[in-house]
């Protein structure tokens, strides 16, 4: 039995999504840009997918550009927005952004764009006074994620967008983890650009989208053909885009009910772990979080050792550990919250999906406590 609780890394493709994609990988292989109807008919499917993605975000279809995923969307938004107004070259991000945003912002910084990075609070929320002090008249683009991938903490982007707009800056949000888990409405939230990725919402890998509010003109990101009104050249990934469309439709349909159910399972997991594992602490316990994400510090016990033993029981999770990636530093997200390396290296992330069952949670609550106990017995930090 495999129990997959690493849905913030990626999700399984929903069967409905796969069914919808298959024809585009088999008989309907035409190029949507072709003149003949064998190809051009596929453009209708792509436009239908665009409508579905737009509906999930409260956007208009013409505001959606298909990309290869969240990373490309983030690159396109930041690099594009940074080039709009030479009088406002500044960028503002936070310490807990996804590497796709951080690396792009650093790239732009090296090309002369002043970069300000906002601190976060110890509970993982955005430090609003630090954030406000980062924005200035010079700021052209603010990019703050809607929800953090490690902690699940939800950032009140509406407030952030308002502050950005007060200084005349554009507001981009990486909503890769948030979309499908919490309601998103680009209009009422005041979002100018928003990144999503299909494989985080039971769609396929290799496809995503960038919402660009009507009226915002950013330069093309990928140069070549005229696809996506010239904004993003390259032959359409028809199967992927159709898959994203269906995944978005399913996400809209399941948004309230399924996330409510997932939230209850997460509560059960958290309270069970707190009760059964000495030293367990839920990160950001009091902050508003995604209904599917919990990062738990099993203090005194190194997380890769826990993951290794959990893997042997068929349970897949991820960690904030330095050792698991071969990198010599622990999670920058937890570190930004003031959690020291010793505790950060005990962090295990559980991320659920609408396919997670109560029995799976029961199983984890059965196998994990003895693992923690076994490792605590030989840990010098467990007392």
Partner 1 sequence: MWKYSKKLMDHFMNPRNSGQLLNPDGHSEIGSPQCGDAMTLDILIDDTDRIEEIRFMTFGCAGAIAAASALTDIAKGKTLEEALGISNDQIVEFLGGMPEEKYHCSVMGHEALSSAINDFKQRRDNMAEHLESILSEMHDDLAAALGKGSISIEHVHPIRVCVRISDGEDRSVTAVLEKELRKRTGKKVKVSIAH
Q: Site residues (CB under 8 A) for partner 1?
A: 300-302, 304-305, 308-309, 311, 321-324, 326, 328-330, 340-342, 344-345, 377-381
Q: How far is the CB of 295 from partner 1 (least distance, A)?
A: 16
Q: How far is the CB of 312 from partner 1 (least distance, A)?
A: 8
Distance of alpha carbon 368 from alpha carbon 374, whole angstroms: 10
Kindly tell me which of 85 and 308 has the beta carbon lying closer to partner 1: 308
Kindly tell me which of 159 and 373 has the beta carbon lying closer to partner 1: 373
Q: How far is the CB of 300 from partner 1 (least distance, A)?
A: 7
Q: CB neighbours of 334 closer than 8 A, spacing ≥ 6?
A: 150, 151, 283, 295, 320, 343, 344, 347
Q: How far is the CB of 322 from partner 1 (least distance, A)?
A: 6
Q: In this structure, how many other beta carbons lie within 10 angstroms of the beta carbon of residue 339? A: 23
93, β-bridge pairs: 117
Alpha helices in the chain (DSSP H): 15-25, 37-57, 70-82, 99-110, 128-134, 157-166, 186-189, 238-276, 303-312, 332-336, 341-344, 358-377
Kindly tell me which of 24 and 298 has the beta carbon lying closer to partner 1: 298
Q: How far is the CB of 329 from partner 1 (least distance, A)?
A: 7
Question: Which one from 277, 284, 316, 323 is the annotated catalytic residue?
Answer: 323
Kindly tell me which of 203 and 300 has the beta carbon lying closer to partner 1: 300
* Phi and psi torsions of 296, nearest 5°: -115, 130
Is 134 catalytic? The answer is no
Per DSSP, the residues of 9-63 read T--PPPHHHHHHHHHHHTT----TTSSSHHHHHHHHHHHHHHHHHHHHHT--GGG
Distance of alpha carbon 270 from alpha carbon 264, whole angstroms: 10
- Would you please indicate which residues are annotated as catalytic (active-site) residues? 323
């Amino acid at each position: 039995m495999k129990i997959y609780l690493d849905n913030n890394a990626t999700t399984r493709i929903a069967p409905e999504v796969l069914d919808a994609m298959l024809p585009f990988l088999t008989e309907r292989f035409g190029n949507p840009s072709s003149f003949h109807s064998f190809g051009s008919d596929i453009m209708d499917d792509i436009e239908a997918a665009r409508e579905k993605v737009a509906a999930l975000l409260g956007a208009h279809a013409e505001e959606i550009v298909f990309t290869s995923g969240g990373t490309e969307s983030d690159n396109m938004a930041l690099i594009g927005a940074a080039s709009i107004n030479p009088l406002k070259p500044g960028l503002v991000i936070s310490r807990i952004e996804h590497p796709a945003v951080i690396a792009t912002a650093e790239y732009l910084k090296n090309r002369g764009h002043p970069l300000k990075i906002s601190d976060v609070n110890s509970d993982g929320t955005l430090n609003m006074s630090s954030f406000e002090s980062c924005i200035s008249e010079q700021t052209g683009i603010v990019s703050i994620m809607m929800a953090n991938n490690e902690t699940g903490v939800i950032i009140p982007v509406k407030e952030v967008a308002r502050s950005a707009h007060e200084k005349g800056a554009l507001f981009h949000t990486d909503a890769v983890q948030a979309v499908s888990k919490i309601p998103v409405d680009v209009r009422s939230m005041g979002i100018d650009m928003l990144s999503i990725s299909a494989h985080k919402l039971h769609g396929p890998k290799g496809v995503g989208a960038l919402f660009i509010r009507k009226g915002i003109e950013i330069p093309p990101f990928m140069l070549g053909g005229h696809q996506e009104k010239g904004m993003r050249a390259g032959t359409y990934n028809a199967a992927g885009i159709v898959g994203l469309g269906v995944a978005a439709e399913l996400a809209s349909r399941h948004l309230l009910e399924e996330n409510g159910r997932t939230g209850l399972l997460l509560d059960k997991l958290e309270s069970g772990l707190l009760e059964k594992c000495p030293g367990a602490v839920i990160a950001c316990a009091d902050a508003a979080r995604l209904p599917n994400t919990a990062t738990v510090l099993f203090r005194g016990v190194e997380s890769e050792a826990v993951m290794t033993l959990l893997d042997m029981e068929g349970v897949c999770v991820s960690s904030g550990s330095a050792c698991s990636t071969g990198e010599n530093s622990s999670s920058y997200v937890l570190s930004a919250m003031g959690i020291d390396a010793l505790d950060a290296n005990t962090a295990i992330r559980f991320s659920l999906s609408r396919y997670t069952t109560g029995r799976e949670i029961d199983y984890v609550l059965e196998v994990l406590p003895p693992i923690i106990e076994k490792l605590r017995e030989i840990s010098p930090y467990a007392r």
